[in-house]
Structure formats: C-alpha cells, structure tokens
A and B are shown apart, each in its own frame.
Chain A
Amino acid sequence: MYSPNAYRVICSSVIGLTILLMLFSLGLGHYFLSLQQIIAILVSPVYQLNGAISDIDMQVIWQIRLPRILSAFFVGGGLALSGAVLQGVFYNPLVDPHVIGVTSGSAFGGTLAILLGFSTFGLLTSAFCFGLLALILIFVITATLKQQNILILVLVGVILSGFFSALVSLVQYFADSEETLPNIIFWLLGSFATANWQKFLILVIPVSIASFILIRLSFRINVLSLADNEAKSLGISVIWTRSLVLILCAIIVAVQVAICGSIGWVGLIIPHAARMLVGANHQRLLPIAFWLGGLYMILVDDIARLIATVEVPLGIITALLGAPCFVLLLKQQALRKE
C-alpha cells in the first residue's frame, strides 16, 4: 500500500524523467543538436530565443524527431498499459498483449499489404483490420464453444496466433527475396524510421481514447483480476466488462502493429516494473505503466538509432533488453517475498 504522497512523488518522477528523456532524445542522432538548440526550436513558433536556427534544424526536430519520439511514447505507453490490463483480466502476470492473437492478425495484415504492394495507408488499414478480425474471431470461436472462461480465451488466442503466424510465414515464402522479403522482415521487427505526423495522428487518437477508458475502468479491472466467480459474486458482469476491456486492448495493439510493426516484451516487463513501484491496485498501476512504457520505448528507440550506423529493428532491442530485465525483476520479486 502506498500513501497518496508517495504515489504523487513516483508519478512526478516518472513524468519528469520522461519529459527530460524526450528533450534529450530530440538532440540525439547523426545530426546532433544541443539542449539549448532544441529548446529554441521548440519554442520558436511562439517566441524567438537568441541564436540562429537553420531550416535543417527546424526540419529535423519538427518533421522527423518529434513525431518519432511522440509515436514511440504512445506505442510504449499503449503496449505497457494493455499488458498491465490483460495481466489483470487474465489474472496471470505472465500474459502480454500478444496473448489475444491480435498482434499476429495485424502482422499478417501488414505483411500481406507489403506483398501486394499496397500504399502506406493501405498497409495501416490492412494491419488494423486484420487485428480486429482476430479479435472478432476470438469472440466467434468462444461463442461457438459456448464457453467464456479465461482458459478458453487464452487457448483461442494461442490458436489464432499460431494460425496467423503460419499465414505470415506463407506470405514470406511467396515474397520476392530481393526486395519484398527484407521489407517484410524489417517491418515485422518494428521501427519508427518512417514516423511522421500523419502516422502519429492515426496512432494517438485511438490509443489515447482506449487508454483513457481503460484507466477509467481501473477499479473494475481490480475486481476482474480476482477470478470469474469472485468478480461475479461482487456483482459485476464479468463477460460484458471483460469483452469491453479486450476490445480496447485489441484496438491499441492493432493500431500499434499497423504503425510500427510487432514489438514484444514491453507489454510483459513494464507492468511488472510498474507494479513494483506502485503496487497491484490498477487505479495506481495503469497510469504509471503507461508513462513507464512510453519512457522505456523512447529509450529503446534512442538505442535503435544510435547503436549502429544503420537502424536496428526495435523488436531485437526490446527482446535483448527485456529478457535480462525480466530475470532481474523476477529476482527482485523473489527477494521481496523473502
């Protein structure tokens, strides 16, 4: 249990750190900009600070890095939030957003669009629609089985993930190995290299709305995390509430995969880190998980941009960082229990 004051200090620290990292990240890259330059560029629309600002500086910040960093923040935040929510709703701390099969559905939609040579907008639409198709299939299959319990939901998610992964492999098999296949692989591993304001808007509107509703539902998510019969005995409609939560998480995951490909681990480890900071209560956990996920993803994107002369896909870095981080978190939790 954390006192309101301790919670406020943690929130302020995480938000402050995120804003600092955002500012710092705006200057990072092969075209370096100092903090002074960054602040001058950011305030330039309303106030001219001393010192010359070149058009290139303006373009690097406003057209390339700012939409990229903000996209990374909302993608990381959305993934961590949906991971925390799904861990709660499935009352299983080892669940991540991929468990509902939406990631694989979106991945198939995206790879199919690349294979068929769709435009960027076509790719986004295809990835998003196939993600939602996976969600609809979950509801259709569970309704056909006439069972709505957690085990069935997880099993259907696993089945759909396997099915859509096979379709992704099939697309890769038929893809031209010179041009299309590398594009598919790079897209699948995740990147913000093509981020722009248009994509940011497509991302930020659904992620913000879904995240806001999920945070408003946080007390209900507490009750859902107890187990079906417990939640029913406390008077809430389990199937209806869980379906609403699944739809909101699926929207976040589908739009995230559509914008920047499949990124693993964030939705698994960040909720654990957030839980260590503020405890299990989703009313405190969800906002912190969102900010911490955003912070983490900006950091990962910085590493992806700077670690080599060519950009490293995000999925590789999140896995390389995520696996040891997860071991450390598990060790920390074990020590706490002792």
Chain B
Amino acid sequence: MHLLPVMSVSQLVCGYQMDKPLTPALSFDIEPNDIVAILGVNGRGKSTLLQTLLGIQPPLSGTVMTECALSFVPQFFSSPFHYSVLDLVLMGKAKQLGLFGRPDKKAIAQALDNLALLGMQQYAEKAFSHLSGGQKQLVLMARALTSDCQILLLDEPTSALDLHNQKQVLNILNDLAKERHLTILFSTHDPAQAMAIANKVLLLDGQDYLFGQADELLTEQHLSQLYQITMRKITLARHAKTDNCDQSSSNQPLHTIVPLYREE
C-alpha cells in the first residue's frame, strides 16, 4: 500500500559548485514511518544531501517538498563552552521559541522525558563535553526529539561508536520509528546496519543512484559494485532470543552482509 509521501525529492542535485555536482539528479518519495539508509563511498555527497534536505545547504538544482518538521543529528559536535546536557537538549526548542523566547517548565519536562527515553536522564546536569561518544550521540538525538520533529535526519550516527553502542543507537532508531511514528533518514558506511533497520535504501554511486526497498537493493551485486569490494550476504537461522533491531517477524531468518577484506 502506498501512503502519501512526507517528503518528495525531485531532480535534486547537491553540491557546492555547479560544475562539480556531488550527486546525480535524485528523485524519490519518502513515506511516513520509512527508515531510509543512505549508502555510498566517501565523497559521494551523503552529508551534503542530508544538509540539502534539511534546507541549510541550497541545492544546485531540483526541489525538496515537505510540510513536516525536520531535525538533524550531526556526525560530530563540539563546543568551546561547557554546556550541560539539559541546556543542549533544550536548544532543540529554538525554532519554536521565537527570537526572545526561553524554554519554560513544560519544555524542560519534555527535554528530561526525551533524555529518559534514551536512558540519559541521569546525565542531565553533566557537562556535554565530558560524555563519551555514544552518550553524546544519544544526547544529540534527544535534542532532535525535543524539537518535535516528524522527520529525523542523522549523519552517520554510529560512525564513532563501538559495536555495543552502535547496536543501542540502531535499536533506538527502530523504536522511534515504531513508537513515535518518526520518519528516519540516516547515512551510513555499513550495509549491515541498513539491512538491520532500514526498509528503504538510497545507494549513491557517482553519477548513478538507486532508491527502493532495502531487501531488493541490498544485494551482493549492488553493494560489491558500490564499494568496489566483494560483499557476501549471510543468512542466519533465528534463535529463540531476538533483538529489537531485527528486520522482520521472529519466524523469518536473519540476514546480514559483510565485506570480504581478504579474498583467498
């Protein structure tokens, strides 16, 4: 069943110079509750595309149509000032508060709720700069949620995290889509992560791109071509204990895909 799109991208070309576009002309629709993974090698414009969708980077050509509120979780963030975690999460309210507005008790309660949702409430009073990479990522996600967005854009949200924190962030994204009915677009270098939680993927490959259902596009052939490395899809029999970030109902087998760094 096709739902009305929450975002329509038409002939969108991203980049900084007209003669050096980073992406081909992209056209695709994002439906409500989609989790879209954006994959591509370095320099293919994944981050620029997210910034263009967000509206902070003007497109070279084409349009992005959406009536939903968007929020962004950057790949890295640092500040020379030691803001507390709560101060930083409250900044998610900036757009709604107007020029002279300040967060009220309701906004503070919402920020604390979002921190609690991500298991970070106990760090509300701590300095953001003193947190670990994974904790910082969760705080930035709490900030994005505090903006009351309907579409969440994340730029490589797991790139600086260890495996445990990667899994935690992916589980949270999966839960947010299901429980808060958020639409999520995230860029990643890891096709296994896309396979774990995304229902759609955008593969950026120089002057070509592919957009469609994750199970149709995340194939050995497409990914090997995209990354110029042999990829192997692995199917695992499902055990009784299941994870949150599985792709399907509990009776179906688990799939993942791995690169072959050494080929005998």
Residues in A lying within 8 Å of B, measured CB to CB: 1, 88, 91-93, 216-220, 222-223, 225-227, 229-236, 241, 275, 279-281, 283
Contact = CB atoms under 8 A, between A and B. Distances in A.
B84 A1 contact: yes
Most buried by B among A219, A223, A235: A235
Interface stretch (B90-98, B180-188, B234-242, B256-264): B90-98
22 contacts: A1-B84, A1-B86, A1-B125, A1-B126, A91-B81, A216-B100, A217-B100, A219-B94, A222-B87, A230-B74, A233-B71, A234-B91, A234-B94, A234-B95, A236-B95, A241-B99, A275-B81, A279-B82, A279-B84, A280-B82, A281-B84, A283-B102
Nearest to B82: A280
A281 B56 contact: no
A27 B10 CA distance: 75
A231 to B, nearest CB: 8
A226 B86 contact: no
B87 A1 contact: yes
Given A1-B86, A1-B124, A234-B147, A225 B81 contact: yes
A236 to B, nearest CB: 5
> 6 smallest A-B Cβ distances: which pairs?
A235-B95, A280-B81, A1-B84, A1-B125, A232-B56, A233-B72
B56 A219 contact: no
Contacts of B87: 1, 222, 280-281
B99 A230 contact: no
A225 B99 contact: no
A132 to B, nearest CB: 22
A81 B121 CA distance: 32
B79 A223 contact: no
A232 B54 CA distance: 9
Contacts of A283: 102
Contacts of A220: 94, 99-100
B103 interface: yes
A67 to B, nearest CB: 32
Most buried by A among B72, B74, B80, B81: B81
A93 B56 contact: no
Nearest to A226: B79
Given A233-B54, A235-B147, A93 B81 contact: yes
Most buried by B among A216, A222, A225, A283: A222
A218 B101 CA distance: 9
B79 A225 contact: yes
Given A219-B103, A230-B77, A241-B99, A280 B94 contact: no
A283 B127 CA distance: 16
Nearest to B79: A226
Contacts of B82: 279-280
B51 interface: yes
Contact of A235 (B83, B86, B94, B125): B94
B101 to A, nearest CB: 7
A229 B52 CA distance: 12
A233 B74 contact: yes
Contacts of B51: 229, 233
Interface string B124-154: 1111000000000000000000010000000
A222 B127 CA distance: 15
Nearest to A283: B102
Contacts of A234: 91-92, 94-95, 147
Contacts of A218: 102
A34 B178 CA distance: 73
Contacts of A236: 94-95
A218 B100 CA distance: 8
Most buried by B among A218, A219, A279: A219
A92 B126 CA distance: 22
A279 B84 CA distance: 8
Contacts of B97: 219
A216 B126 CA distance: 25
A333 B232 CA distance: 52
A223 B71 CA distance: 14
Given A1-B87, A216-B100, A222-B87, 20 more contacts: A91-B80, A217-B99, A217-B100, A219-B97, A219-B101, A222-B83, A222-B91, A226-B77, A226-B79, A229-B56, A229-B74, A231-B94, A232-B56, A233-B74, A234-B92, A235-B147, A275-B81, A279-B82, A281-B83, A283-B102
Nearest to B71: A233
B201 to A, nearest CB: 23
A232 B91 CA distance: 12
Nearest to A238: B56
A93 B125 CA distance: 22
Contacts of B99: 217, 220, 241
Nearest to A244: B99
A264 to B, nearest CB: 21
B137 to A, nearest CB: 15
